[in-house]
């Protein structure tokens, strides 16, 4: 067996293909920070990020009318058509990481990274700023190699810039690096591949969906009756296959989320008070969690143990309190009216979490 070789002694013809296989700026920075020879193997300036990507406008042109009133301005159909064509849509990718003070650390921070901008997702920052039991908060600038990073998941969002009122997109996921599935605000499900000119609607006309997820290498959607459907992809055709029966919740008062936790899929029912309505949202009054057991049956889950569910607009995920600072076990963190709230399963209470998304920047000069 050949002797081990120091990192700095690896040949450049081996380093170059490794470097070209890295697809995020944070990976490039960590690669170049190993040593001088690794830094000279690839240039950070030559790295062209894939995202944001141009994406087709998910919304069709407005219905044909002789004149259409947009606020105080009345426009002809041709003028509305022209403004609709000026709508731009960009697909963004955000990567969520676990950032630890060292490779051997048991706990770390939950962060999200887009390009070189990093946001610390911490629900209880004030609680430990003066607590000696917690490590110091991350500085605004730091050397990335001093911290361990583990990629948790990748989330995608659509940025739509339009001069006319359009609909809303609730959820976006990318599958196999090319298929993009979109859940609209009205429950419709759309699909497009990178480079397509338009989206295709999937499912029957009367079907309404709440969430979509990639789980165990397949794409699943949950409708508003709690039925989970598998999106069967065959070349250029898509079939919705009923995969799991309803979880038995009250579909008229809930919004459903799909969450993968520790290798198991869950349905989280967000209960809404539809008799109380604010300007743009219904008030959340509680949650119920259903877990799929080994017989593919949905069972009401009484406790999440040491895990916390985080329901974000771009993705939903589960974290362990043994691995992350700031989060409490057996809780669900969710957004309501631009504020983060916490639902505790043990007593069904809802409190304000005051989550901070403080921006820090990755130091690029090693």
So where are the chain's domains? 7-41, 53-362
- pLDDT, position 249: 63
Q: How many Å apart are CA 203 and CA 190, to the nearest integer?
A: 9
Q: How many Å apart are CA 177 and CA 195, to the nearest integer?
A: 12
Q: How far is CA 227 from CA 175, 242, 246, 258, 259, in A?
A: 21, 7, 4, 11, 15
Query: Considering only CA atoms, which of 170, 236, 229 is closest in space to residue 204?
Result: 229
Which band of pLDDT confidence, cut at 50, 70 and 90, is reported for residue 329? very high
pLDDT at 174 over 50: yes
User: What six digits make up the tokens of 230?
Assistant: 């598998």
Per residue in 188-222, pLDDT (tens digit) is 999 998 888 889 999 998 999 999 999 999 999 99
Q: What is the 3-state secondary structure (H, E, C) of 60-77?
A: CCCCCCCEEEECCEEEEH
User: What six digits make up the tokens of 153?
Assistant: 């998941």
Q: How many Å apart are CA 91 and CA 160, to the nearest integer?
A: 9
Which band of pLDDT confidence, cut at 50, 70 and 90, is reported for residue 85? confident
Percent over 90 (pLDDT), the chain: 39
Give the pLDDT mean for 135-158. Answer: 77
Per residue in 294-308, pLDDT (tens digit) is 888 899 999 999 999
Question: What does the angle CA 287 – CA 329 – CA 118 come to, to the nearest 5 degrees?
Answer: 95
pTM here?
0.85
Q: Which residue has the higher pLDDT, 228 or 293?
A: 228
Range from 6-20, 52-66, 208-222 that averages highest in pLDDT: 208-222
- pLDDT, position 363: 44
User: What six digits make up the tokens of 336?
Assistant: 């309501």
Which band of pLDDT confidence, cut at 50, 70 and 90, is reported for residue 277? low
Per residue in 222-255, pLDDT (tens digit) is 998 889 999 999 877 899 998 888 776 666 678 9
Which band of pLDDT confidence, cut at 50, 70 and 90, is reported for residue 357? low
Which band of pLDDT confidence, cut at 50, 70 and 90, is reported for residue 33? confident
Give the pLDDT mean for 32-58. Answer: 80
Give the pLDDT mean for 314-324. Answer: 93
Per residue in 92-143, pLDDT (tens digit) is 999 999 988 876 677 888 988 886 677 888 776 554 444 444 444 566 666 7
Tell me if 203 sits within 8 A of 210, measured CB to CB.
Answer: no
């Amino acid at each position: 067996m050949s002797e081990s070789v120091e990192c700095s002694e690896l040949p450049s013809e081996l380093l170059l293909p490794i470097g070209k296989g890295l697809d995020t700026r944070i990976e490039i920075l960590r690669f170049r920070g190993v040593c001088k020879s690794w830094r000279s193997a690839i240039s950070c300036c030559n790295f062209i990020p894939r995202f944001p990507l141009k994406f087709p406008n998910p919304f069709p042109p407005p219905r044909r009318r002789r004149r259409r009133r947009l606020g105080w301005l009345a426009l002809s159909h041709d003028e509305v058509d022209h403004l609709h064509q000026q709508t731009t849509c960009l697909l963004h990718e955000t990567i969520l990481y676990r950032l630890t003070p060292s490779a051997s650390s048991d706990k770390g921070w939950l962060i999200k990274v887009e390009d070189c901008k990093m946001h610390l997702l911490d629900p209880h920052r004030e609680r430990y700023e003066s607590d000696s039991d917690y490590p110091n908060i991350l500085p605004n600038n730091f050397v990335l190699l001093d911290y361990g990073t583990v990629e948790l998941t990748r989330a995608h969002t659509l940025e739509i810039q339009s001069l006319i009122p359009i609909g809303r997109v609730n959820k976006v996921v990318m599958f196999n690096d090319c298929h993009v599935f979109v859940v609209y605000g009205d429950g419709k499900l759309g699909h497009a591949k990178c480079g397509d000119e338009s989206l295709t609607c999937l499912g029957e006309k009367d079907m309404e969906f709440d969430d979509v997820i990639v789980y165990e290498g397949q794409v699943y959607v949950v409708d508003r009756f709690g039925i989970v459907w598998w999106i069967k992809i065959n070349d250029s055709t898509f079939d919705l296959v009923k995969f799991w029966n309803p979880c038995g919740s009250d579909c008229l008062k809930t919004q459903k989320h799909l969450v993968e936790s520790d290798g198991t899929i869950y349905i989280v029912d967000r209960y809404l008070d539809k008799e109380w309505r604010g300007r743009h949202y219904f008030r959340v009054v509680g949650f119920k969690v259903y877990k799929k057991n080994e017989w593919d049956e949905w069972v009401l889950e009484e406790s999440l143990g040491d895990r916390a569910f985080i329901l974000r607009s771009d993705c939903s995920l589960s974290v362990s309190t043994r691995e992350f600072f700031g989060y409490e076990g057996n809780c669900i963190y969710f957004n309501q009216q631009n504020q983060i709230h916490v639902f505790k399963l043990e007593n069904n209470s809802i409190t304000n979490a005051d989550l901070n998304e403080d921006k820090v920047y990755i130091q690029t000069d090693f």
